[in-house]
Structures are given as structure tokens and as C-alpha cells.
Chains A and B, each alone.
Chain A
Amino acid sequence: MILELSSIRKRFGGVHALRDGSLSVRPGQVHALIGENGAGKSTLVKIVAGMLRRDGGDMRWKGRSVDFHRSAEAHAVGIRMVHQESLLAPHLTVAENVFLGREPLKSAFLDEAAMAHKTASILEEHRFPLQADWKVAKLAPAHKQIVEICRALHGDPSLLMFDEPTSSLSDAEATEVFRIVRQLREKGIGIVYITHRLAELQEIADQITILRDGETVHSCPASETTTQEIVRHMVGRNVAAVYFRDKQPPGEERLKVDLPGVAFELRAGEILGVAGLVGAGRTKVCETLFGITPAPPGSISVNGEPCDIRSPLDAVEAGIALVTEDRQETGLAVRLPVRTNITLANLDAVCAGSVVHSGRERRVAEDYRKRLQIRADATEQSARQLSGGNQQKVVIAKWLFRDTNVVLFDEPTRGIDVGAKAEVFALMDKMAREGKAILMVSSELPELLQVADRILVMREGSMVAELPRETTQQEIMHHAAVGH
């Protein structure tokens, strides 16, 4: 064992983030750490990385009891954390990011040549498809993740901890990350791997440890368990393993799109899936329909009426809503209360003239909180304090209150846990039954197959196939990646 944690405890104010966290990692092993949001995974790895100090419990590094006060101390003994791509400085180059905070000096000046050379050799050694002098801002998410990995690899670490490395990647890009992780394992590096994507566990993990409510509830070799059992440990009860939607007879036409490379219609009661690799133009379809990127010549009709959509305001007025991929950036005003977020897109409905009727607004917010089972102490709580799943429900509540005919979902399950996913799917199903038309972009093929009535596949900005719901993941991937 290189790392042994037993009975780690950590409190934040009155909240126990960790009550009994245990984890043992061997060299050359990929150890998956899983659990719902708030289970304590991030707290545990932050303690190992010296970013937080534990309140109690035992931590041993290579057999010796340790207590890190600062992340530099953990770094010095060979422990690295691979953060999500958001922690890079976008205006700097790959090499500058790899050495950020540890720049080599030549007399008083930065040794640019040494940085470029060392970075190039790391890239070469691992066959990473990047150049040391590329600007990070221009890289795809998967490549930003590689830059994070390079940062961690500098200085020959013995333990790498990945925090959801594939959460913003497509399946093909995730496969590339798996290749890298396996390669690092071959070199004898111990790897802790936090993920929400249970499907990838069989592919990548040697050992699995499951946290629930701050306690390690189960640990076993990956080959000796099933997804079903893992989910049971994560949520502490049996969950309907898969969610399948009954197909509804489609109603009248809600949305008709005829743009270069992208033509489809969407009917009331229908959930239309859109699949494709990252960069295939799926998000762009949503952004075009929602007036964020200018539409190319062509036509868009809502409820049979041709629309000229130039802004989100036009889109919402035409009856189109968008649940965006990134809740923090574009979905929520996170510092404002849940109540305010729910009424934001339809404030007129709770106003008398220009004055907000606070009683009416409270009733509306409370009503949606109950109907969507949003777990917030009160509707006054700020959106920031909610878990990913509950934040997503607030975004959905906002559009339900606006009551648009067409709802676009871009990666609706990103960053939310198993239980909340089922609730989001049930909401989408309910919206379809009530006569809304739904478009769902997703990188999670099993989820598309569960929820969508038919699936459009995109490649290089164009739609290349329309598949029925009875299709397979292989079929979708075939169209998405190679075509006919």
C-alpha cells in the first residue's frame, strides 16, 4: 500500500463532510472512488492532497503516518491532484500552465527554453497530441484535461488523484483518457479516480470504494461487483436499475427546422435525442434555435409559424426554452434565492404592472419546490448552496413556469447523481406527456436510448442519421464517428 486512510473525519461548521472515510491504494492500481454528490469524495482527496486538514483518523503514506498542512507538503512527497480543466490559465501556453507556480529560473528570469523542452518531453513520452506552445484557451476540453495531467506528471509522482476527469468529455475522448490512465498504471503509479459515470468503471477500475454520507460503505475489486450493486451501495436502497419511457403517439408539429445540414421536425409529446461526438455541432444546434449564435440561411418554425430568432428573448417569446449544459455559467443566478431563479423567466406572471407581488411569487416558488421535490431548506436559500441535481430542477422549474411549448435540454444529467438523474428523466417524460416537445442533446448514449423516441446523429456540423429508439450504442457510434 502506498496510501492508507482509516476512519478519517472532517467537519465544516456543523456539517459532517466525512464521518468514517477509509481508502487503501496500491501502486500500479486504479482505485475508483464513487458516491453521490455530497458523499465526501472530494473532501477525502483534498485531505490527501493537503488542501484540507482532517479532524481525526489515521493517514499513512508509504507506511508512515503523515499530516499535511499545505498542498506543497503533499506535492513534495509525490501526491498530485488532477483537477478539472477549469483550473488552467487560459491565456497562457501549454508549457506555461504545466509549470504554473513552479517556473524554473535562469538567474532572475523565467527559463522559457527549459519549460518548453521539459513539457515537450512529457508530451512525447506519453504520446499526447499537443504542442508545448499552444494557447490553452484554444484547446478542446479533453486536451485541457491532458494539460492538467501533464502538470501532475511533472516531478515523477507516486499517486495521482483524478477528480471526474471525463465529466465534460465525449465517449471517444474519454477513451483517450482511459488509455492515458492505463499507461500511468503500467508505470506503477497509484491512481485514485473519482467519477460519476458508472459505465466506465468496468473499463478502467481495478478496485472500487463507495462513499455514502461521509462513510466508506463498501470496497471491493471491480471484477467482483455489478453496476446494480454499486448503485445500491451509493444510495442505500434499491433503485429501479433503468428508466424506460413508454412511447407516446406524437401530436401536432411544434418545431420545424430547415437549416444547412440540419433539418428535422419535432412534435408535441415527443423526446428527440441528439447524439454525436464533442465538436459535432450538437450544442450549436441548441444555441442557434435559442438565438445565441446567428442562424445560417434557412427556416425555423414554431407551432407552424416561421420565426426569426435573433436573441434568447426572441426564442423564449416564440416558445422555446433551453436548459443549458452549464448551470453555473448560464443556467442560474447562483447568488440569488431559489425563488428568484424560478420566476426569473416569467416575472410578469407574478407582477402587478412593474411591481413584483411577493406573496404570489412565494406561492409559485413553493408550489414548484414541492412539485419537483427540490431539496432546499426554504425557497429563500441561494441556488449556489444546492446540489447539482437540485440546481438542475430549479432550472427546469424556471422553464416549466414559463410554460414554453418546446424545451431544449443540453446534457441534462451532467454533474448530477444517480437518484437525481431518474427524477430529471421522469420530469422530461411528464413534460412530453403534457404536450411539450423536447430535444435532448446527450453524450451519455445509454441515457439517450432510455429516454428518446428517436435519435438524430450529428457529425462535423451536420445530421448524418436518424435512428429509431430500438437502435444500439454501436450503431450510434458508427454513424457519429465514421459514417457510411
Chain B
Amino acid sequence: MRLGSGVLQKFLPFISLALLFVILSIASPYFLTTTNLASVIRQTAVINIMALGMTLVIVSGGIDLSVGSILAFSGVIGTMTMVNGGSVPLGIAAGIAGGTLWGCANGLMVSKLRLPPFIVTLGTLGIVRGLTLVISGGLPVVGLPKAHGFLGEGTVGPVPFVLLILVGCAIVTHFAMRSTKLGRYTYAIGSNEAAAVYAGIPVARYKVAIYAICGMLTGLAGMIETSRLMTGQPTAGVSYELQVIAAVVIGGGSLAGGEGTVIGTLIGAFIMGLLSNGSDLLGVNPYWQQVIIGAVIILAVALDEARKRRFST
């Protein structure tokens, strides 16, 4: 009985996602169509890929508020490379590199200046957004090569290309967190940073790597966003950081660090994606959608805390 309810609670995010899926299939005839599901995947892919990086950061006991700004920066840098004569792959690479650099900058400031990640990334949130607007003159970058559209909107057979990218990134991140030194040290740093330092782990180096990976994935997400819109918007991604953090915590990540998984995060991001898509299909007032998603965040974390309390005493 006790065991049964424990298992139920452990898989609650997954069960909720499955339930949501079934309910929407029954409630709306348009939900379970290839077009709609592909659109859900395209809509959530950007948040999902960013959330993979954020999972590492949050498990390490950190936070990255600057991802929305980095998304726009990468998009603008990447698209400007393309319109100034660079090839599509070069532009994508430039966007990813731009994101990675900002991730490194966040990581260096957190680990070398020993500043709280909340403060550092609150600062870079503004700095990166401002620089993006300066570089682009505040105007969207347009006139992108048609080939760039494939990244966000293309399909391989019936499968949206972004789904393949997402699955690929998720598998690599999942494996990295579960089975590599990087992943192990990420959990150790988040669980008890002092103990990690005392164990002789080069904590500063790993923190830089963690924020850099988050920046890199955000850079990739930024290029996908530009591909879907076929413009480089300097105002893209405003407040995405909140959705990304919400995906991680709905999936069981703890802002105190040391807890969180890639699978949990994916489920968290899809729960939010389905809530939003379902509300659209069922004609729920978009103002109410925000209320629903906010309530779900609190409910999910409350249930998770209740589970932890029960199993720790």
C-alpha cells in the first residue's frame, strides 16, 4: 500500500502527462492529428532544448536567468552571419558559439568572482539583451536564405526535424548526467558544494562547463527560433527563462540543487506545452492559460515536496 502510493508519487509527472494526453484526445477531435502534434513539438522544442541545459545548471545548485536574452543574442548573431554572406551551417555555428560564450561568461563570474548565480545572470539578462539590441539596431534581421527554414520547420519523412534534434540532445544530456564525471560532479556540487571542494573536485572548472553547456543549448534553441520565424528577432525569448525554469521544477528539479533529471524536465516541458495547446484547442481564454500554468507549477512542486518529506523521515 505504502509502496504502491510511493511508486504512484514518483511517477506522478509522467502519469499527469499521460492523463493530460488522454483527456485532450477525448475532449478535442483536432488534438490527435499529425498536424497538431507536430505543431506541439515545434512549439515546445525551443523551450525543451533550453530546459535540458537548465537542468544541469539547476542540479548544480545554480540558476540561469539570462537564457531568454542569450536566445535572442544567438539568433541575431547567427542570422547576421547568414545575411552577410555566411552559409547556413556557418550561421548556425556562429549562433551556437555566441550562446556558448555567454554561458562561459556566466560560469566564470559565478565561480571565479564567487557571486550568486541569481545576481550574475540577472545582470547578464540585461547586458545580453541590451547588446543584442545595439548590434541589431533594434531591428529584426530579415532576408535569410530559404535553406535555413529546414532547421525549425523541416521534416524527415513524417517526423519534424526539430524532434530529432531534441531527442538527440536529450539522449546526450541524459547520458552525460547519469554516467559521466561531469554529471556526477554536477549532482555532487548541487548536493553539497563544500563537500565537493573538500573532495578535491575542480568545482570552478566544472561550473564553467555547466553554464557553457546551458549557453550552447540555448544558442541552438535560438537558431531554431530564427528558423521558425525566418527572422532574427532581437526581442525574441523575453521571459522564456521562467518557462524553462518551470519545466525543470515541474519535472522534479530542486532549486536547492542536487535533484533533477533530463526525463523529468522533458515531461515538465511537455506538460506545459500540452496545457497551452489544449487550452487553445478548447477555446480557453489565453488570460486563463497563464493562471492554469502558474497553478500547475505550484501544485507540481508541492506534490514533489510532500513526497520527499514522507520518504526522508
Any chain A CB within 8 A of the CB of B114? no
Assess A354 versus B199: contact at CB under 8 Å? Given A13-B313, A335-B259: no
**A398 touching B191, Cβ below 8 Å:** no
**A340 touching B188, Cβ below 8 Å:** yes
**B191 touching A333, Cβ below 8 Å:** yes
Assess A324 versus B191: contact at CB under 8 Å? Given A12-B313, A356-B181: no
**B188 touching A356, Cβ below 8 Å:** no
User: What is the distance, in angstroms, from B254's C-beta to the closest C-beta of chain A?
Assistant: 9
Which of A312, A354, A356 contacts B198, CB < 8 Å?
Answer: A312
Q: Which residues of B contact A290 (CB under 8 A)?
A: 198
Any chain A CB within 8 A of the CB of B138? no
Any chain B CB within 8 A of the CB of A139? no
In Å, the complex CA distance between A12 and B182 comes to 37
In Å, the complex CA distance between A347 and B183 comes to 12
**A335 touching B180, Cβ below 8 Å:** no
Any chain A CB within 8 A of the CB of B194? yes
Binds B, one of A114-122, A169-177, A233-241, A314-322: A314-322
Any chain B CB within 8 A of the CB of A135? no
**B192 touching A332, Cβ below 8 Å:** yes
In Å, the complex CA distance between A292 and B202 comes to 13
- What residue in chain A is nearest B203 (Cβ atoms)? A313
In Å, the complex CA distance between A205 and B258 comes to 43
Consensus secondary structure, chain B interface:
helix
Assess A336 versus B199: contact at CB under 8 Å? Given A354-B181, A356-B179, A358-B179: no
Within B160-203, the residues touching A (CB, 8 Å) are 179-185, 187-188, 191-192, 194-202
Q: Which residues of A contact B312 (CB under 8 A)?
A: 384
**B188 touching A355, Cβ below 8 Å:** no
Assess A335 versus B198: contact at CB under 8 Å? Given A340-B184, A356-B181: no
Interface flags, A181-202, vs B, CB<8A=1, else 0: 0000000000000000000000
User: What is the distance, in angstroms, from A348's C-beta to the closest C-beta of chain B?
Assistant: 8
Within A124-141, the residues touching B (CB, 8 Å) are none
**B258 touching A335, Cβ below 8 Å:** yes
**B259 touching A355, Cβ below 8 Å:** no
Assess A333 versus B313: contact at CB under 8 Å? Given A312-B200, A354-B181: no
**B188 touching A333, Cβ below 8 Å:** yes
- What residue in chain A is nearest B313 (Cβ atoms)? A12
**B198 touching A324, Cβ below 8 Å:** yes
Which of B182, B202, B258 contacts A333, CB < 8 Å?
Answer: B258
- What residue in chain B is nearest A321 (Cβ atoms)? B200
**B258 touching A345, Cβ below 8 Å:** no
User: What is the distance, in angstroms, from A289's C-beta to the closest C-beta of chain B?
Assistant: 13
Which of A322, A345, A351 contacts B181, CB < 8 Å?
Answer: A351
In Å, the complex CA distance between A421 and B312 comes to 26
Any chain B CB within 8 A of the CB of A331? yes
- What residue in chain B is nearest A398 (Cβ atoms)? B199
**B200 touching A336, Cβ below 8 Å:** no
Any chain B CB within 8 A of the CB of A474? no
Interface flags, A379-423, vs B, CB<8A=1, else 0: 000001000000000000010001000000000000000000000
- What residue in chain B is nearest A315 (Cβ atoms)? B200
Which of B182, B188, B313 contacts A344, CB < 8 Å?
Answer: B188
**A317 touching B200, Cβ below 8 Å:** yes
**Total of A-B residue pairs, C-beta within 8 Å:** 79
In Å, the complex CA distance between A20 and B192 comes to 38
**B184 touching A333, Cβ below 8 Å:** no
User: What is the distance, in angstroms, from B267's C-beta to the closest C-beta of chain A?
Assistant: 21
**B258 touching A313, Cβ below 8 Å:** no
Q: Which residues of B contact A356 (CB under 8 A)?
A: 179-181, 183-184
**A354 touching B258, Cβ below 8 Å:** no
Which one of A311, A315, A334, A344 has the highest number of Cβ atoms from chain B below 10 Å of its Cβ?
Answer: A344
Assess A336 versus B187: contact at CB under 8 Å? Given A12-B313, A347-B181, A356-B180: yes
**B180 touching A330, Cβ below 8 Å:** no
- What residue in chain B is nearest A15 (Cβ atoms)? B313
Q: Which residues of A contact B202 (CB under 8 A)?
A: 313
Q: Which residues of B contact A335 (CB under 8 A)?
A: 191-192, 258-259
Which one of B180, B191, B198, B312 has the highest number of Cβ atoms from chain A below 10 Å of its Cβ?
Answer: B198
Q: Which residues of A contact B191 (CB under 8 A)?
A: 333-336
In Å, the complex CA distance between A384 and B194 comes to 16
Any chain B CB within 8 A of the CB of A329? yes
**A355 touching B180, Cβ below 8 Å:** yes
**A344 touching B201, Cβ below 8 Å:** yes
Q: Which residues of A contact B197 (CB under 8 A)?
A: 311-312
Q: Which residues of A contact B192 (CB under 8 A)?
A: 329-330, 332-335
Q: Which residues of A contact B199 (CB under 8 A)?
A: 312, 316, 344-345, 398
Q: Which residues of A contact B313 (CB under 8 A)?
A: 12-13
Which one of B188, B192, B195 has the highest number of Cβ atoms from chain A below 10 Å of its Cβ?
Answer: B195
Within B182-229, the residues touching A (CB, 8 Å) are 182-185, 187-188, 191-192, 194-202
User: What is the distance, in angstroms, from B178's C-beta to the closest C-beta of chain A?
Assistant: 8
Q: Which residues of A contact B259 (CB under 8 A)?
A: 335
**A336 touching B198, Cβ below 8 Å:** no
- What residue in chain B is nearest A323 (Cβ atoms)? B198
Which one of A311, A312, A335, A356 has the highest number of Cβ atoms from chain B below 10 Å of its Cβ?
Answer: A335
Interface flags, B246-286, vs A, CB<8A=1, else 0: 00000000000011000000000000000000000000000
In Å, the complex CA distance between A348 and B202 comes to 13
Within B275-313, the residues touching A (CB, 8 Å) are 312-313
User: What is the distance, in angstroms, from A380's C-beta to the closest C-beta of chain B?
Assistant: 13
User: What is the distance, in angstroms, from B112's C-beta to the closest C-beta of chain A?
Assistant: 13
In Å, the complex CA distance between A344 and B201 comes to 8
**B188 touching A336, Cβ below 8 Å:** yes
In Å, the complex CA distance between A402 and B201 comes to 12
Assess A329 versus B194: contact at CB under 8 Å? Given A354-B181, A398-B199: yes
Assess A333 versus B198: contact at CB under 8 Å? Given A12-B313, A13-B313, A356-B179: no
**B180 touching A336, Cβ below 8 Å:** no
**A355 touching B198, Cβ below 8 Å:** no
**A332 touching B200, Cβ below 8 Å:** no
**A331 touching B198, Cβ below 8 Å:** yes
Q: Which residues of B contact A331 (CB under 8 A)?
A: 195, 198
7 nearest interchain CB pairs? A316-B200, A333-B191, A345-B199, A333-B192, A330-B194, A344-B199, A335-B191
27 chain-A/chain-B pairs, Cβ below 8 angstroms: A312-B198, A312-B199, A313-B201, A313-B202, A316-B199, A317-B200, A322-B198, A329-B194, A330-B195, A330-B198, A332-B195, A333-B195, A335-B192, A335-B258, A336-B187, A336-B188, A340-B184, A340-B187, A344-B199, A345-B199, A347-B184, A348-B181, A355-B179, A355-B180, A356-B183, A356-B184, A402-B200
Known: A333-B191, A356-B179; 11 extra A-B contacts, CB below 8 A, are A13-B313, A312-B198, A329-B194, A332-B192, A332-B195, A333-B188, A340-B184, A347-B185, A356-B180, A358-B179, A402-B200
